[in-house]
Structure 1
């Protein structure tokens, strides 16, 4: 998977990313059962082979706000799964409970309301990260740098049940 489109974006991409203003502390994360959605809250976050700082760093994420799925917990460590299905361990202080999503369609349509017939507001290409709002009837509110609208849930990763 090292050659996948997302890995190249994670290391070198500069696609639009919505700002995150609130971050919940690791204590709040400890109360949640796995799996659950989270996002990377740092500009540079290390994923390790195991749940301790002594384990080798396997990947460096350089994509703040990237959605991840937390699949296991071990103390202050979280085993995450990224949008490509890669897993590694990350310290909880590098994660936020702020919900984000990433587009997985080649081109996604952002509409004014949650239906195919609604006005087309703008389009997003694959790999755009945005804040995730409410989801209903297969549509989710999606906000990229304060430009918002509705996108089909099947066009994003990070929505629905983890």
Structure 2
């Protein structure tokens, strides 16, 4: 009777290779953190006064304060009940999860300093323009098709090209 024998080093090397392959596969999958939700993802601020800290805890100093409820932010990391967020200007800090909302909002072309963006009656450049929105106007995102988003705000409602918004990912579909 023949028994297959492998040296211990060969088995150890095989285990390391298998573990590293599995690690690579899981790294390519969408990341889920403490909440079990995908990271990164967009959320919004719940209140008009949100302390942003330098680390994940009350003992860390306040780096800056947001004073605009509904402002869209991107969660880029989670640690327990703390979320590391990034704003449209790229500033990052930590906030307690209870100060964030799943309500989707977006800013119109915050990277532009001037000009306006057309808001259409339907998801088509050829359709009627119902409003022109200035850079950094905050909108509530009702839904996105992957190329157009239906948004509304004080005194306006209509469709805007998705690439003109900060608060939704390219080709992301949103159904609120």
Could you state the TM-score of these two structures normalised by the residue count of structure 2? 0.72
1:147 CA displacement: 2.4
Aligned to 1:53: 58
1:134 CA displacement: 1.6
Q: Distance in 2 between matches of 1:88 and 1:122?
A: 34
Aligned to 1:97: 102
Aligned to 2:84: 79
Alpha-carbon distance change, 156 to 91 in structure 1, aligned in 2, over 3 angstroms = same
Aligned to 1:144: 153
Q: Distance in 2 between matches of 1:145 and 1:74?
A: 35
Alignment length (residue pairs): 134
Alpha-carbon distance change, 99 to 137 in structure 1, aligned in 2, over 3 angstroms = closer
Q: Distance in 2 between matches of 1:107 and 1:155?
A: 10
Q: Distance in 2 between matches of 1:152 and 1:87?
A: 27
Over alpha carbons, which structure has the higher Rg? Answer: 2
Deviations 1:11-52 (A, max 9, x none): xxxxxxxxxxxxxxxxxx923121111001111101000000
Deviations 1:92-133 (A, max 9, x none): 111001000001153111100111111000111111111112
Q: Any unmatched runs of 5+ in structure 2?
A: 1-33
Task: Pick the aligned partner of 1:65 from 66, 70, 86.
Answer: 70
Pairing 1:121–2:130 present: yes
Deviations 1:75-102 (A, max 9, x none): 1100001011111001111100100000
Q: Distance in 1 between matches of 2:129 and 2:75?
A: 33
Could you state the TM-score of these two structures normalised by the residue count of structure 1? 0.78
Match of 2:122, SS?
A: coil
Match of 1:154, SS?
A: helix
Query: Could you list the runs of 4 or more consecutive aligned residues of structure 1 that deviate by over 4 angstroms after TM superposition?
Result: none
